[in-house]
Amino acid sequence: MSRQDYLFTSESVSEGHPDKVCDRISDTVVDAYLSVAPEARVACETLATTNRVVIAGEVRGPSEITADYLTHLARLAIKDIGYEQDGFHWHDADIEVLLHAQSADIAQGVDAAGNKDEGAGDQGIMFGYAVRETPELMPAPIYYAHRILKRLAEARHSGESGTLGPDAKSQVTVRYADGKPVGVTQIVVSTQHLDESLSSNDVRAIIEPYVREALPDGWIDAKTVWHVNPTGKFVIGGPDGDAGLTGRKIIVDTYGGAAPHGGGAFSGKDPTKVDRSAAYAARYLAKNVVAADLADRVTIQLSYAIGVAQPLSLYVDTHGTGRVDEAKLEDVLLKVIDLSPRGIREHLSLNRPIYARTSAYGHFGRPPEEDGGFSWERIDLVDELRSAIG
């Protein structure tokens, strides 16, 4: 029997964190190609350090997407995040684009030809997860860690709080009682500040109202321990303070450690890459299973081989909360959606420029948008699943 009373911690990082700057630029490159050629292939990695950005990887797409154009888009992304500091400035940074053509060996395995359907872009395992802890069916610790930083970012962008910088991290330790999240025992927030004279107590006074807004009523009490800028000062931030790389915050991007992760990053990859699209599909299925009241908590694993269209396996674990046999649920899930790379992309309409917005504050637990963004968060399979289960 699983534990019912325990503490669990998850962290989040802001859009201005060095790794997230890189995720944003890489996904901006993906969007640039998909906006012109929905079938483009992109595998883009970004490195950022003091006033330097390097964009590398492989692509197959229209020639009008030039290095100069991608450099311009990267500057706009950095500007939108808010970097205008001496050590990392959207206008002054040296940006180098080193993208090259996609490998013909990879292309022949992925592309459809004759009677061969489009294959997966690589081998790998992907996980989806959903749990009845928040209205968005996300684990509470990561969901609220994201909310804290998103609220601080909103205050910064609106000018409501003019002293906060783009780089920030949060961490929340959630107390569970009888298996349900009921409060926060520890709160960690480290946020860049532009006024060098501010102490940790000064920064706490600025951010505390936003943190309280982000958490449910009653979750913070007199016993909650706060750690705000524990080093005492956080003025130098972003890539000037620490180098960033695409794909280094995959647990932040998913479930905060509350569920397994297959290991593949999302950002910088077009949706033929199952690291991204199949992870979205697994979340989509898991969320619909819980929304259909077939389980209170579910983990779904998919696996693929490069060049092979259909998944090698689908595994469902309802962690003892299921209301239907897991083997039957596996059979049903394979029937309600085509889990080939093409089937996933078509069902979720993934060949769109919808990825830059995913690069911070989590790929999951976000409301689906009218233009197809976060389509994997829809719960439109509920009736079909219930009918199929009988």
The CA-based dihedral angle spanning residues 88, 250, 11, 236, taken in that order and rounded to the nearest 10 degrees: -10
- The set of residues, in sequence order, having a beta carbon less than 8 Å from that of 329 and lying 6+ positions away, is 289, 294, 316, 318, 322, 389
Is 319 annotated as catalytic? no
Q: Which of 127, 234, 266, 374 is catalytic?
A: 234
- 234 annotated as ligand-binding: yes
Q: Is 178 annotated as a binding residue?
A: no
275 is catalytic: yes
102 is in an annotated binding site: yes
The verdict on whether 79 is a catalytic residue reads: no
Cα–Cα distance for residue pair 58/181, rounded to 1 Å: 43
328 flagged as catalytic:
no
20 is catalytic: yes
Catalytic residue check, 169: yes
167 annotated to bind ligand: yes
b/e map 289-315, b = 16+ CB within 10 Å = bbbbebbbbbbbbbbbbebbbbbeebe
- Residue 117 catalytic? no
Instruction: Choose, from 118, 275, 296, 377, the residue flagged as catalytic.
Output: 275
Query: Is 331 annotated as a binding-site member?
Result: no
17 annotated as ligand-binding: yes
- Determine the 3-state secondary structure of 88 from DSSP: strand
Cα separation, 316 vs 129, in Å, equals 10
Q: Is 15 helix (H, G, I), strand (E, B) or coil?
A: coil
24, 75, 204, 249: the active-site residue: 249
Query: Do the beta carbons of residue 315 and residue 282 sit within 8 Å?
Result: no
Task: State the catalytic residue, choosing from 151, 193, 273, 345.
Answer: 273
Does 19 carry a binding-site annotation?
yes
User: Catalytic residue among 60, 193, 204, 269, which?
Assistant: 269
Q: Is 91 annotated as a binding residue?
A: no
Between the alpha carbon of residue 376 and those of residues 21, 65, 201, 360, the distances in Å are 24, 28, 41, 16
| Residue 19 falls in the annotated catalytic set | yes
Reference 266, options 248, 286, 239, 287; nearest CA is 248
Q: Is 335 annotated as catalytic?
A: no
Residue 196 annotated among the catalytic residues of the structure: no
Residue in 56, 243, 291, 305 annotated catalytic: 243
Q: Is 233 annotated as contributing to ligand binding? A: yes
Q: Is 335 known to sit in a ligand binding site? A: no
Q: Which residues participate in the annotated binding site?
A: 17, 19, 45, 58, 102, 167-169, 233-234, 242, 248-249, 265, 269, 273
Catalytic residues: 17, 19-20, 45, 58, 169, 234, 242-243, 248-249, 269, 273, 275
Q: Which residues participate in the annotated binding site for L-methionine?
A: 58, 102, 242, 273
